[in-house]
Chains A and B, each alone.
Chain A
Amino acid sequence: MNEVGFILSIMPGLLHGAITSVFVALAAISLGIILGITVCQMRRSQYWPLVRAAGLYISFLRGIPVLVILFLLFYMPSAVNIEVPSLLVAVLALGLNTSAFQAEIYRGGFNSIPAGQIEAAKALGLSRMRILTRIQLPQVLSLTGPELVNEFIILFKNSSLISVIGVTELMRRSEQLVSTTYKPVEVYLAAAIIYLALCLIISRLGERLKGKH
């Protein structure tokens, strides 16, 4: 019974960290959506340098671990004496990582839109940008919805890695609590339960989104 009381007593501190985790994950997924769509458009364009660059971007960022992206962004600027806040590094690293995966997700979405729709839109005199934002994107986003939710869950779990560069999110909070209370099992289990609960909430919300379309 003592353990339960202890876990309850550390919960507020952990939840405070969890808010930072969620905030960083949301910022990163937004960055990832914008970058992902941009890179996907580059990949689908007719200019080979753009296609090559997008291909390289996707292959590289998908090919290296999130932790390495994090280290690259965290230490490289210091080599040329630039100080970047670690919160920004965290959002950038997670966002870059997810953008490469998202670009591949969107590619499938764009490919599944019948070419006739685009031809019809062009024949009606719609501009390229308008075709993208009014015809393609709404369909792509609703088609790839479930995969995006999945990607968000992965991203949220990856956000535990940003504790390494000193962002005080859920993971870092629990490490701090362990170093003051010396109760690793209880603290890490409590943190694991919070991660689990948030992941379940995200996937439930995703299912609800799926039902709407």
Chain B
Amino acid sequence: MDALTTFLLRWQSFLAENGPDFAAALWVTIRISMVAIVCGLILGFAAELGRRICPWLRRPVACYVEFFRGTPLLIQLYLLYYGGPRVGIVLDAEPAGMLGMSLYAAAYFCEIFRAGFESIPEGQREAAHCLGIRPWRRLWRIELPQMAQIVLPPAVNQIITLIKDSAVLSIITVAELTKTATRIMNISFEIVMPLCLLALLYWIISEAVAVVSGKAEARLTRHLTR
């Protein structure tokens, strides 16, 4: 009983002292992840659409996707953050992280959208064309609703992966969750508590995103399942 009380007291004092720091860091992680996810989705979709519309974009987009999917995020961040100033791109750690993560995310989302577009039979596009349906309307009314089932599950997986990948930003000194936890470890000489809290927070975020997006997925694809 005594051991339990000391244990709880230690956690209480740890949380009272470092709780606000962790909360602030959690917000940084969420903020960066959200920016990366939104920008990545837009950029990835634009890249995929561009490559479908203009044939001369095919090669550059393929190279882009291959480079960002074939190299570790860490090296991309290093190139941007440490290599950027050499070519005139000077960014603070956080904007650099956001930009790097967005570019990285876009490559993955682009491939996910490609699989979505490829799942739709060519005949439907031809039929829409013959019926005089404009390309934008065709995209919005015919292609996107059917793509949902193919695109959503891998997209959700990718979103969770991106949130976890944001831990890598700690290496280029962005003050997100992982960086904050290691900083607290260094100043308080506590090892177990910051690390456990860190792992727990990521676990909760991942599970929460999985549950919420599972519900959203069911809702967005109900026109296909019923």
Contacts and interface: CB of A to CB of B under 8 A. Distances in A.
Interface in A51-77: 59-60, 62-68, 71-72, 75-76
A191 B75 contact: yes
B139 interface: no
Contacts of B167: 65-68
Interface residues of A, number: 36
Interface residues of B, number: 36
A175 B172 CA distance: 12
Nearest to A158: B72
B75 A200 contact: no
Interface in A158-194: 158-161, 163-164, 171, 174-175, 178, 184-185, 188-189, 191-192
Interface string A66-103: 11100110011011000000000000000000000000
Interface in B68-92: 70-76, 78-79, 82-83, 86-87
Contact of B74 (A79, A161, A184): A161
Interface of B: 66-67, 70-76, 78-79, 82-83, 86-87, 164-168, 170-171, 178, 181-182, 185, 191-192, 195, 198-199, 202-203, 205-207
Q: 10 nearest interchain CB pairs?
A: A63-B206, A65-B167, A160-B72, A185-B83, A65-B164, A63-B203, A184-B82, A196-B70, A157-B72, A199-B70
25 contacts: A60-B199, A62-B206, A63-B164, A64-B199, A65-B166, A65-B167, A67-B168, A71-B178, A71-B182, A71-B195, A71-B198, A72-B195, A160-B74, A161-B168, A161-B171, A171-B75, A184-B86, A185-B86, A188-B78, A188-B79, A189-B79, A195-B71, A196-B66, A200-B66, A200-B70
Interface of A: 59-60, 62-68, 71-72, 75-76, 78-79, 157-161, 163-164, 171, 174-175, 178, 184-185, 188-189, 191-192, 195-196, 199-200
